[in-house]
Chains A and B, each alone.
Chain A
């Protein structure tokens, strides 16, 4: 056999070609009785229909959670979930939180130290000590 093939799997580059929104589901939980849910109930009544219409790629679930603070939970493609407590918040603030969950990638927050992260090879190549001018001692 002169040359054999090694089986591999292609890696995704989300946004190169197609872009899949990482947030796949948003759960809105509210309480009908408690005062901390007042903003959430107003948000669900007034803002949520337009929010859902603007983001058709997100599945939206609304369910009561009696005697608890209101919560928004985001479920992501990578299997993780993010929950934000929105007690005593105004509808506009809740909208911002929902937007934050929508735009999140689902990954744990981490500090980026390099300006560019890429899986492509460096165009310039890696520096080699054995090439270039020979150093005489």
Chain B
């Protein structure tokens, strides 16, 4: 498989300065606000319209010593002079092909600068797609039997906004009090919400789900795959299109801004350094974090689930047997109960009553089933590497039991 020459492609699309006629245009528009990396997607299609678009979208800036104070976010030239930004670039071991200007742009939230040529919205959208793609393929291939609710929870744990905000903090990213053109570009720039604002006040509207006004109707698990986002949360379509305006007035939370920054860094690495570097960055920073997936299960009736599972897999029906016990008549009895299917012991648990021990044993048996992980797992995106071995199909399971 031939690798896409991303660097060449992205440089021609991303930076108007890197073009051949750049010097002339610079001379013509020298007092315009310019970006060295422009959002790639819309311009890639209508290449000839590019110059007019950049001309129209850029705003006239008076060339005075105070012009910095008029800008909503730091000018592009300031990125080279920021010690914070250079230190952050080196601290993350970012590839040298990723310029400081792009890193500075990924630090500007849409609430600080609404101009899409200068904020990180486009980079964050790309980074979010990459992150959810890599995480979901890792989870589905490594644990093929995980129930969908647990996959949603694990996705949230790996690339959810809480984890990403924690990562930005561990990367040493500091936040600017108020965004502005004179601020150091190494600080995360976003408009803060006013204290006392209820962040998740109203229900999400504008989802594509039919009958969304019926609050009491059941939402099936499979419909969540179609209508909801990667964490199983409802996503508002009309709400998203309205967000830039509402964000400009209200601002965003620090957690949201930090998560957007981390996603934007991922998107920027993909654009400037290519797919292998993005994948390596993902494995080193996201996948290396610790998550105990067996803690994400919450069973309501484990014994019933286990008997349904055994019926589906044509095992003998599960039988709970006491393995050992102590102090049955005392204040602190302990029972050790095993769940057997024929001769095979499926699980074992200890509890202070027979029922508790039995349900713990059933949970252990169910976790043993759901947490099955094949050896030498390969993910589909590993085929993008050069010289990859031929693909062998991964284990695909029937899925969770339906009760």
Chain A residues in contact with chain B, CB under 8 A?
A: 1-14, 16-18, 20-21, 24-25, 56-61, 77, 119-121, 128, 130-131, 134
Contacts and interface: CB of A to CB of B under 8 A. Distances in A.
Contact of A7 (B87, B156, B166, B402): B156
Nearest to A8: B157
A77 B173 CA distance: 9
A61 B186 CA distance: 14
Interface string B150-163: 11111011101011
Contacts of B284: 17-18
Nearest to B282: A17
B311 to A, nearest CB: 14
A6 B215 CA distance: 22
9 contacts: A2-B301, A5-B296, A7-B160, A8-B156, A8-B291, A10-B157, A20-B91, A59-B86, A128-B350
Interface in B148-193: 149-154, 156-158, 160, 162-163, 166-167, 169-172, 186
A17 B288 contact: yes
Interface in B321-361: 323-324, 326, 334, 336, 350
A9 B157 contact: yes
A4 B299 CA distance: 6
A120 B11 CA distance: 44
Contacts of A61: 83
Contacts of B297: 3-6
Given A8-B156, A56-B90, 11 more contacts: A3-B149, A6-B295, A20-B172, A21-B91, A56-B87, A57-B87, A57-B91, A60-B83, A77-B172, A120-B290, A130-B326
Interface in B357-403: 366, 370, 400-403
B287 interface: yes
Contacts of A25: 87
Nearest to A121: B292
Nearest to A128: B350
Given A9-B163, A13-B288, A18-B288, A4 B298 contact: yes
A82 to B, nearest CB: 15
In the complex, the 7 A-B pairs of residues with the closest C-beta atoms, listed nearest first: A17-B288, A5-B153, A56-B90, A10-B289, A57-B91, A5-B149, A24-B172
Nearest to B348: A131
Contacts of A128: 350
Contacts of B366: 3
Contacts, number: 131
A119 B290 CA distance: 8
Nearest to A134: B324
Given A2-B147, A2-B401, A17 B283 contact: yes
B228 interface: no
Given A1-B300, A6-B297, A12-B170, A17 B149 contact: no
Given A8-B153, A130-B324, A2 B287 contact: no
A9 B157 CA distance: 4
A7 B153 contact: yes
Contact of B90 (A7, A13, A57): A57
A7 B231 CA distance: 10
A64 to B, nearest CB: 18
B213 interface: no
Interface in B94-110: none
Interface in B305-319: 305
B131 to A, nearest CB: 13
A27 to B, nearest CB: 12
A5 B172 contact: no
Nearest to B158: A10
Given A5-B154, A21-B91, A77-B170, A56 B86 contact: yes
B157 A3 contact: no
Contact of B153 (A6, A17, A21, A58): A6
A92 to B, nearest CB: 25
A3 B299 contact: yes
B285 interface: yes
Contact of B157 (A2, A7, A14, A17): A7
A128 B336 CA distance: 11
A1 B291 CA distance: 24
A60 B160 CA distance: 33
Given A13-B288, A17-B283, A2 B305 contact: yes
Nearest to B152: A5
